[in-house]
Structure 1
Amino acid sequence: MVSPLGQLLSVLRERADWTQEELAHRAGVSVSTIRRLETGKPFKPRVDTVHALADALAESPVVTAEDGQRLLDAFSGKTVADPPPPRRARPPAWDALAGAADEFAQAVHDRWLDEEEQRGIQDPVPLPVRWRPAPVGLADDPADLSGELADIAEVYRRIPAGRLVVLGRAGSGKTVLTLRFVLDYLRTRTSDDPVPVIFSVGSWNPDASTLREWLIDRLQRDFPDSPGLAALAHGGTTLAAALINTGRVLPVLDGFDEIAPSLHEAALTALNRTEQPLVLTSRCEEYGAAVRKPGVLSRAAAVELVDLTPSDLVDYLARGQRWLPVLKRLPAAVAEALRTPLMAVLARTVYRDQDPAQLLDADRFPTPAAIEDHLLASFVPAVYRRQPWRRSWDPERVQRWLGYLAVHVDQHDDQDGQDLAWWRLGDSMSRSSRILIVLLAAALVTAVCNWLTVSPLYLFGELAGIGFGGWLLDGLLIGSVVGLAFGLLYGLMIVFGGLEFEPSRVQLRLFGHRSTTGYRLARTVVARCAAGLLGGFAVGLGYASATTLERMILYPQYSGLVAVRVTLVNAVVLGIVFGLAAALVLGLMAVLEAPLDIGSAATPIGLLNTNRATVVRQVLMLAPMIAVTIIFGGAVVVDLLQSSLGPLLWPLNAALIIGIVGGLSGALSYALAFTAWGQWVVLSRVWLPLTGRLPWATVTFLRDAYQRGVLRQAGAVYQFRHARLKDHLGEAFGGEVRRWSPSGPGRSSP
């Protein structure tokens, strides 16, 4: 029997329109404590727990101080004479949140409707995805929920707790079912219903973040096209957090089996701590193994997808004459191989313009596995057949490029799940390789900037007598110095500073609310400034040494103690000047970084374009800032050091050259080394194509692969259409690399 305290707590929580999870989060108590109180389980809470609940409820504009006192009276055993007052009208903030949820629901509907059309799920007819009750022991609520694809939303609404587990073998149609569920649920959704959102749950690490934190993060990342998700809402949280915390989002967690097996138990335990309605999909075998110790998903019903029947294959494939001989005979191996929607779709695609009768060859295809491997291997060549209205690609190279992408996804599945993010395509390379490439890029940029800046001096000015050799030597030496410094700084920040590149989280913003706490921001600024001082001093030391070396080469009489003394003095002066300039740049950018809230990036390419525009603005701001700091900061430093280092000169012409070259090369090198777009350019647009792992037209290739159905789009990232296709491409690429490795018959770099 529920105690008066539990009854009153439930009434006040519902009046505040909070879920148990949100009240627990605000009060700093566990959800299980609130659940035990409200369900009447034997439990005696501590007095500080009740005070925390009362204080949290008092934050709601519809809960009064008298209500909080009434809660404390109920805890102490006093009779609560007056019933709680009737629920008051919601404040305008709640109406605004409901309106935001309605707008978000429309954005979700439009996205997944486009995705359904892109995947051709309705072409020629939807495959009949059916299900039956899950096997005994896999459901906490063993309800009879048999049905088919068109019934999924209606079946879900019959589940009291709103928690459903969908099980099925690989390729059985789980993802298609979740897509159809979202569209059908939204079609009948009211303003009081949550918005169903598909999350690829494979990237969730329950040991690193709570489900709520992960959902908020993914919501902002997966829906950059929904304006305002990163903006502030009522109560000081972001709109994404407000939607999650108030239960206005129904998580559809696709791919539980893609979570690392070692984390399955922790993930289920975390899911069982919440009463939040949700839909969870998984392969049956992996889910069955995961629930042995922690138990099944609490208060959840479970269904299992069933195989296609021969009549289903006839309805789906027999739209022309090619398939009739196969369907009439339908050997057991073929029927077994085509029992899942994935294989049926692959078969229809592969044999759209060919004769499927070869599948009847029992010698070539003796087993269902042989047929499945054949369809997986033939899918990419089939969709990349030469067509007059589409760009043509070499199928062998396409296989290699897609294979590299598949291996890349597998190497980062603990961080990004199945996501193929353009800003991470170079992360599969070793750190040493990335450091070397950044070093070369910064060196080249600096050399070009130096050559362009000093060209007039070598052509018409005071250095005209030195000639082309001196001009070339000057750029090479200065470029090498700056390249080494940026390589050092980049290496320190990715090895020791944990530097990551997230374009969806970075935007140049001078004013407005900052989501970063003061302590965290201060720590970041200090770390960046320290790295800038170190890197800048290294540039100054190298610049002074390079200048001396150049003079010794061009003027052999310039040597001895004078050269050593000049080098040391220049190293100190330039080291301080460049160190201050670099510290200013890195520290300022740490302050100006803010969560990205964009309404124009509905696709990965849109996000790429948005990030490129942000980087251009950064360069346009940083270049003059660095130049001015070097020119005038150098004068100040020289003036301050006159007394200790002796007479020093900072002539205006030299200051202008150093400032202009430093401003241009520093801003451009920063953009290439320390922004997501710059890393994309250096690694994914230059190095990976140069080594044959990606095409030169990388953007066009990714977009084309999506249009051909090899990739699918999930917000700002791509994903492979299916895990089995990704695994096949990855294995083929790995086999090719092993075949041409140094230990094999040939030798080639992948």
Structure 2
Amino acid sequence: MASEFGTVLRRLRVREGVTQEELERRSGVSVSTIRRMETGKHSNPRMTTVQKLADALALRPEDREELARAAVPGNQGGTRRDDEPTTEEPRTEEPRTEEPRTEEPAPEQHSSPTLAPSAPEPQSPDPLTDAAEQLAKAVAARWQREEEQRQIQDPYPLPVRWRLADEELIDHWANIRRLPPGATNDPLDLGGRLEHIAKLYRDIPSGRLVVLGRSGSGKTILTLRFVLDHLRTRAPEEPVPVIFSIGAWNPTTLTLRDWLTEQLMRDHPGTAARSPGRASLAAALVDSGRVLPVLDGFDEIADGLRRPALEALNATTLPLLLTSRPGEYAAAVDETDVLTAAAAVEVTDLTLDDLAAYLPRTTRKPNPANPAEGAWDPVLRTLRQLLLQQQSASDRPAPPLATVLTTPLMVSLARTIYSDTPDHTPADLLDSERFGTPEQLEDHLLDNFLPTVYRHRPRNGPHDCDPDRARRWLGHFAHHLSRQKTPDLAWWRLGNGLRRSTRTLVTALVTGLAIGLVDGAVSAAFNGRLTGAVVDGTLVGLLAGVMFGLVHWLTYTAKGKHVMPSAVRLQIRGRPRATVWTAGPRLVIGTLGGAMFGFAYGFFVGLVKSYAWTDTPTMLHIGLVDGLVYGLVFGAGTGLTFCLLGILETPLDLESAVSPRTLLNTNRTTVTTQLLVWAPTFGAVVGFGSGAVVELLDGPLGPLTWPSEAGVLMGVISGLGGALGYALTLTAWGQWLVLTRIWLPLTGRLPWAVVTFLEDAYQRGVLRQAGAVYQFRHARLQHHLAERHRRSGAAGHGLHGDFIAPP
């Protein structure tokens, strides 16, 4: 809880528009000390410190007096009481004599009870407040890195501006301003530019803003800048702005709060930990209003879902910032209503003056005789002349280049192709025969973007890639995202582009092959007979593939669910209380599932092994007996193993840095640890438990034979095979391995080094990182590649192409 001094200091600082970092520079007081003051952790500063802060903020006399009074212990409310002694100012100055010894005045110096310092009451730590602060740090660090990766500040950000949107897309101003009935209903002045976006949002009392702009107009860059600027001036009690790509939301299956919670846990796995109210930290942060949703890409929601999406947004009172293309948002408004209590602005086009100030500073100086002139200067002069001629002749269309270079997207593409490469000249863009229309020019820039960025190695990577192969693979990714109706390129969903039947068959085939090889190798090692090992491995592999394929189908494919990456890790030492509660349900689920699997497995094994030497009634009897034995053994083994895994699981900590590769590595480590726990535990229970079950059922079911070496062999094979089957069919990393690392590269759709290729595309500026997923840098580029992929019919033929990584 903030102290009175901290509250006053923060209010005055925010009013003056000064960040904590700027106040540190002006006053010489460290930003950590300022933060501790504003959060109440340091509530009794020296008067010299107060004086420095007041000078740095250039406060008026009345504000200085208020700040000084708030710094004195015992002054509640920051105002003078009528009965307070008139000697207040001298007492305020007394602590100056104690500066060399302590930051707090000695108790004996305050003879008056009114000014006597009282020991601060111990405050119990608030887990949600701490979680929000850690989330704010993680979000700021993530988007700061992303801004640097995108070179937004090189040489400076393009001037994104906006104006008030059409009145029919804006709610009543009384609702936006939260006015009582009968109050003056005047519009707010919402004009501005990129560096003012955080202040603009804070000036809207309802806290709800819609930013409209056509494709490539800079909406995504605006959201990034909003998050960074808002966090830079954020007070501790304010919510944390978090960017969510709303195009992945299906409002008919998930409420907004539930979807925000899922996305928050995906990008910040530490928020999956339990809060004091037993809900996840992510759910608690969203429900308590500590998260400010920045919803980017309303237009990316599927056509039939935009109306229910807008209705769902109106059903909440959450403050938010929403971006969309104007047409899609207007169509949704026509079908239902505007976003309740939301103001709306529309991003405007770049001007020729903007281009003249920006583009020449991004390119080389090719003319030694005039080193001040760059390659873009003559192009822009010609373009200005053409525009003047067009204005004088009203029937003459504007030059295509002038029309195209009005959005930051097209300017950045033109810069990449013509500013950063010495073998291209911007003057080619003025060729009216090649580029007779703006559409032809835009297609030219989009088509040449990939060949340009893949012609050279990225600045932070050693890899080369053939542009044609890169185009084919990126086209597959873009087509995959279009079919999945999401902008998020998630590594655990790359296999979902395959048909359901194909995914199930490939999973069953690879799982059966892996288990069959393990069974055959172990059998040959134990028995020394290759023929018997091959037969047994083939039988076990076939049955295991069918059974695990069926389990995968029933668990995920038939329900249309995704195998999500785990947000936990295994803690071998200690028992984390946050997840012990899952052990009981896992024991029940594991026992039932294992018993069903064991009975079916044992029944088929009994039938097959007795086929050659007995008659049908005995075959059925053997099958039922084997099914019962295997069902009891596998049920106990699976239940106990699942229970143990549940006890050992602990959520990732809140400070875990998440990127696609780190999440993949975390899940691989988790699955590997699960294998190391599963195999010996399951194998031991099956190996020793089989003998105990046979002893138990020997009387009721007749004479049963079960040699001890058979129990050992079954334990080893079951432990290894069961662990492999679980990993390959029921974990995100296993499905990634089966489908994305084996099947899709084998059929030519993807490179073998998928993660390396995606990271390289990110370094080259083709992709961007959004937490645990990648996205195409521009939605327009994604749609262009997907359309080209469909037109070319490139389903991924050619099995020998790959991403080349030189030594």
TM-score range, shorter chain: 0.7 to 0.9
How far apart are the structure 1 equivalents of 2:332 and 2:650?
Answer: 36
In the superposition, relative to structure 1, how do residues 545 and 365 fare at CA in structure 2: closer, same or farther (>3 Å)? farther
How far apart are the structure 1 equivalents of 2:625 and 2:683?
Answer: 16
1:419 maps to which residue? 488
1:320-344 CA-partner distances (Å, limit 9, x unpaired): 3333343232361011112110111
How far apart are the structure 1 equivalents of 2:468 and 2:474?
Answer: 10
Which residues of 2 match residues 183-194 of structure 1 at below 5 A? Answer: 183-194=228-239
In the superposition, relative to structure 1, how do residues 382 and 580 fare at CA in structure 2: closer, same or farther (>3 Å)? farther
2:151 maps to which residue? 120
Q: Structure 1 stretch 670-679 or stretch 386-395: which is displaced more? A: 386-395
2:183 maps to which residue? none
In the superposition, relative to structure 1, how do residues 219 and 158 fare at CA in structure 2: closer, same or farther (>3 Å)? same
In the superposition, relative to structure 1, how do residues 548 and 427 fare at CA in structure 2: closer, same or farther (>3 Å)? same
Q: Structure 1 stretch 597-606 or stretch 120-129: which is displaced more? A: 597-606
Structure 1 position 470, deviation (Å): 4.2
1:105 maps to which residue? 136
Q: Pick the aligned partner of 1:513 from 542, 558, 578.
A: 578
Structure 1 position 150, deviation (Å): 1.1
Which residues of 2 match residues 28-47 of structure 1 at below 5 A? Answer: none
Structure 1 position 402, deviation (Å): 1.2
How far apart are the structure 2 equivalents of 1:218 and 1:345?
Answer: 29
Structure 1 position 382, deviation (Å): 1.4
1:347-395 CA-partner distances (Å, limit 9, x unpaired): 1112221223332222221111111111112112211113396311122
Which residues of 2 match residues 629-708 of structure 1 at below 5 A? Answer: 629-708=685-764
Q: Contact conserved, 2:216 with 2:778, CA < 8 A, in 1?
A: yes
1:164 maps to which residue? 209
How far apart are the structure 2 equivalents of 1:747 and 1:98?
Answer: 53
How far apart are the structure 2 equivalents of 1:95 and 1:525?
Answer: 33
Matched, 1:254 2:296: yes
Q: Which has the larger radius of gyration?
A: 2
Give the TM-score taking structure 2 as reference length: 0.73
Matched, 1:243 2:285: yes
1:338 maps to which residue? 405
How far apart are the structure 1 equivalents of 2:238 and 2:417?
Answer: 42
1:32 maps to which residue? none
Q: Pick the aligned partner of 1:539 from 594, 597, 601.
A: 601
2:510 maps to which residue? 441
Q: Structure 1 stretch 600-609 or stretch 692-701: which is displaced more? A: 600-609
1:188-230 CA-partner distances (Å, limit 9, x unpaired): 2222322211111122233333322222222222223xx4x23
Matched, 1:734 2:790: yes
2:425 maps to which residue? 355
How far apart are the structure 1 equivalents of 2:437 and 2:493?
Answer: 39
Structure 1 position 747, deviation (Å): 13
1:392 maps to which residue? 464
In the superposition, relative to structure 1, how do residues 499 and 384 fare at CA in structure 2: closer, same or farther (>3 Å)? same
In the superposition, relative to structure 1, how do residues 137 and 327 fare at CA in structure 2: closer, same or farther (>3 Å)? same
1:5 maps to which residue? none
In the superposition, relative to structure 1, how do residues 380 and 545 fare at CA in structure 2: closer, same or farther (>3 Å)? farther
Matched, 1:576 2:628: yes
Structure 1 position 671, deviation (Å): 0.7
Structure 1 position 149, deviation (Å): 0.7
Matched, 1:265 2:307: yes
In the superposition, relative to structure 1, how do residues 443 and 306 fare at CA in structure 2: closer, same or farther (>3 Å)? same
How far apart are the structure 2 equivalents of 1:450 and 1:482?
Answer: 11
Q: Contact conserved, 1:529 with 1:583, CA < 8 A, in 2?
A: yes
SS in 2 for 1:144: coil
In the superposition, relative to structure 1, how do residues 98 and 665 fare at CA in structure 2: closer, same or farther (>3 Å)? closer
SS in 2 for 1:291: helix
Q: Contact conserved, 1:504 with 1:595, CA < 8 A, in 2?
A: no
Structure 2 gap ranges (5+):
1-119, 174-186, 365-373, 387-398, 802-807
SS in 1 for 2:169: coil
Q: Contact conserved, 2:493 with 2:562, CA < 8 A, in 1?
A: no
In the superposition, relative to structure 1, how do residues 362 and 453 fare at CA in structure 2: closer, same or farther (>3 Å)? same
Matched, 1:328 2:381: yes
Identity %: 50
How far apart are the structure 2 equivalents of 1:252 and 1:716?
Answer: 17
2:523 maps to which residue? 454
1:478-499 CA-partner distances (Å, limit 9, x unpaired): 3222222222222232345665
Give the TM-score taking structure 1 as reference length: 0.78
How far apart are the structure 2 equivalents of 1:98 and 1:199?
Answer: 21
Q: Contact conserved, 1:573 with 1:638, CA < 8 A, in 2?
A: no
- Which amino acid in the other structure matches residue 115 of structure 1? E
Q: Structure 1 stretch 629-638 or stretch 727-736: which is displaced more? A: 629-638
Structure 1 position 418, deviation (Å): 1.5
How far apart are the structure 1 equivalents of 2:534 and 2:672?
Answer: 28
- Which amino acid in the other structure matches residue 503 of structure 1? P
How far apart are the structure 1 equivalents of 2:149 and 2:568?
Answer: 30
How far apart are the structure 2 equivalents of 1:582 and 1:646?
Answer: 21
SS in 1 for 2:294: strand
1:597 maps to which residue? 652
How far apart are the structure 1 equivalents of 2:122 and 2:276?
Answer: 11
SS in 2 for 1:538: helix
Structure 1 gap ranges (5+):
1-88, 550-558
Q: Contact conserved, 1:573 with 1:637, CA < 8 A, in 2?
A: no
Q: Contact conserved, 1:139 with 1:296, CA < 8 A, in 2?
A: yes
Q: Kindly tell me the number of residue pairs found equivalent between the two proteins.
A: 631
Q: Pick the aligned partner of 1:151 from 196, 202, 205.
A: 196
Q: Contact conserved, 2:521 with 2:533, CA < 8 A, in 1?
A: no
How far apart are the structure 1 equivalents of 2:800 and 2:760?
Answer: 28
Q: Contact conserved, 1:569 with 1:645, CA < 8 A, in 2?
A: no
Structure 1 position 145, deviation (Å): 1.1
Q: Contact conserved, 1:309 with 1:339, CA < 8 A, in 2?
A: yes
Matched, 1:485 2:547: yes
1:204-261 CA-partner distances (Å, limit 9, x unpaired): 233333322222222222223xx4x233334444333333233222221111112223
